[in-house]
Structure 1
Amino acid sequence: MTHNLKLKKPLAVFDLETTGTNISRDRIVELSVAKAMPDGTVEVKTKRVNPEMPIPIESSLIHGIYDEDVKDEPTFRQMAKSLAQFLQGCDLAGFNSNRFDIPMLVEEFLRAGSDMFDLKNRKFVDAQRIFHQMEPRTLSAGYKFYTGKSLENAHSAEADTLATLEVICAQVERYEGVKITNKKGEEIEPVKNDVQALHDFTSGKIVDFANRLAYDDNDIIVFNFGKHKGKKVTDVFTKEKGYYDWMMNSDFPLDTKRKLTEIKLSMAGGLFGS
């Protein structure tokens, strides 16, 4: 397989099959990566993973992977180093990847105690964000819409991964130069054959991948859920002393807790203001 994307560095398009959808508790059972290279070639790697927990039957019925299928496979901890090396220097892409696949992958690396998977200086392209903003549908329908083909073996990690790469390529061809009106009433051309532009359109500025935190219009980090939604994190931590401890002791993703700790520590140095 080849691709038509203009890349300055590899774009790792990936998909996960998991035990469920809870980023904090669930685990990866299969991972597939299609690494699109700047020269137009694509390298595909697919691996099943022992999640070290039972796979709920409702999840197995979706992706077709059962406990027996992964009992002899390596754990994520065992494959973390080689996976990080394969993803080294890559931007990341997927379908609904900003909300699920990337947060889940980050969480698995953190659980493995691995600090080798760094998200800094990476771009994130979410094909679902392009799709839902331009043609609201599902992956199977989107694949049919953009390629004219039916998606075989849906919910197979490799099939979904390769389909997503084809969808991104087709989206760029279809929408490059197409104008839409954004929320501010401005006419823009968001889709370009450029990963930075696709990142800006689908990802924007990310605080934590679980989206519990966000930037407001003034680029201040605020809570994005619950009773403090829209309030500055530093204001809440100043006025409600126990809120940080409550979040650290509750079932929030490790990535969110790490960002909260960075903010908490930075407050002492006056980097975030009050």
Structure 2
Amino acid sequence: MQQSQHWYEGPLASFDTETTGVDVETDRIVSAAMVLQASPGAGPQSATWLADPGVPIPDGARAVHGISDEHVRTHGRPPRTVVAEIARALGEQARAGVPLVVMNAPYDLTLLDRELRRHRDLSLADCLAGTELLVLDPRVLDKHVDRYRKGRRTLTDLCAHYGVSLIGAHDAAADAVAAMELVRALGARHPGPLGAMTPAELHLRQAVWHSAQARGLQNWFDRSGSPERVDFAWPLRPARCGCGRRLSPEHRCEAAA
């Protein structure tokens, strides 16, 4: 009898963005990519987007991804169009039940949600229309299976640790491909704690694991006297209004509901 296929041997999608900065509430998407792969070693299919964010790209961000204001003004498309297409592409994979790899998901998915709210007056959840993403976050997975390993855990660091090739770092498509290969490597190396679960089970577990990881980091900040605050939410940070209260699903302030 043939053994059933593990999730890391099957179809995966992967999503990544390059942006104007690291603040999910105020920064903008400059480029994005979604990569699909039917199985390990199969040729990936990529969809890419370039947006004119409508604001200047800071020098620091441009130094990371190499995309200039002139380039997006010439070749980029309106962000309103781009974010709608991205959300539609993610929704198609969610409806097909394909797991979505997102390195540091609370960053990319929250930024996309805020861009949708900014340009379409819709949340990511609105665009998914009740369908749930099955997110696999290599950052959370690696911290869970190798909690006490010292050193940084950026995409570049994780790829080096797991022997995954990363060519053209900080290009959205290249980073998406590397994150996908990284998740496959994580599943294959840890078939017990990761490979035995379904993507749906892993999605639920990662929310718990991320919360515990964030709590540990917050405790460290508190002990060191740092004012830094860590968000425990995964894979998407809740939207808040100007008063700091969470927004309801109808985009109203909960304090006024």
- TM-score, normalised to structure 1, is 0.65
More strand by share: 1
2:56 corresponds in structure 1 to 54
Match of 2:78 among 75, 80, 90: 75
Measured after TM superposition, the shift of residue 37 of structure 1 is 4.7
Q: Residues 202, 67 of structure 1: CA spacing in aligned structure 2 closer, same or farther, 3 A cutoff? A: same
More helix by share: 2
Q: Counterparts of 2:87 and 2:104 in 1: how far apart (Å)?
A: 21
Q: Counterparts of 1:261 and 1:53 in 2: how far apart (Å)?
A: 27
Match of 1:248 among 241, 244, 248: 241
1:242 corresponds in structure 2 to none
Maintained 8 Å contact 2:188/2:195: no
Q: Aligned-pair RMSD on alpha carbons?
A: 3.6
Measured after TM superposition, the shift of residue 265 of structure 1 is 7.0
What aligned pairs does 1:99-138 form with structure 2 within 5 A after superposition?
Answer: 99-113=106-120, 115=122, 117-118=127-128, 120-135=131-146, 136=149, 137-138=153-154
Q: Which amino acid in the other structure matches residue 136 of structure 2?
A: V
Measured after TM superposition, the shift of residue 101 of structure 1 is 0.5
- 2:247 counterpart of 1:257: yes
Q: Between the two structures, name the one with larger relative contact order (CA 8 Å, sep ≥ 6).
A: 2
1:152 corresponds in structure 2 to 167
Tell me the SS of whatever aligns to 2:114: helix
Q: Counterparts of 1:117 and 1:5 in 2: how far apart (Å)?
A: 29
Match of 2:91 among 88, 93, 96: 88
Alignment deviations for residues 173-201 of structure 1 (CA, whole Å, 9 cap, x no partner): 00011xxxxxxxxxxx3443631132123
Maintained 8 Å contact 2:91/2:131: no
Question: What is the number of equivalent residue pairs in this alignment?
Answer: 212
Identity across aligned pairs (percent)?
A: 24
Maintained 8 Å contact 1:77/1:112: yes
Q: Counterparts of 1:64 and 1:23 in 2: how far apart (Å)?
A: 20
The higher radius of gyration belongs to 1
Show structure 2 runs of 5+ residues with no match: 95-99, 215-227, 233-239
- TM-score, normalised to structure 2, is 0.69
Alignment deviations for residues 121-177 of structure 1 (CA, whole Å, 9 cap, x no partner): 22222111012233453211211222354x222111111110000001111100011
Measured after TM superposition, the shift of residue 83 of structure 1 is 2.6
Q: Residues 193, 153 of structure 1: CA spacing in aligned structure 2 closer, same or farther, 3 A cutoff? A: farther
Measured after TM superposition, the shift of residue 18 of structure 1 is 0.5
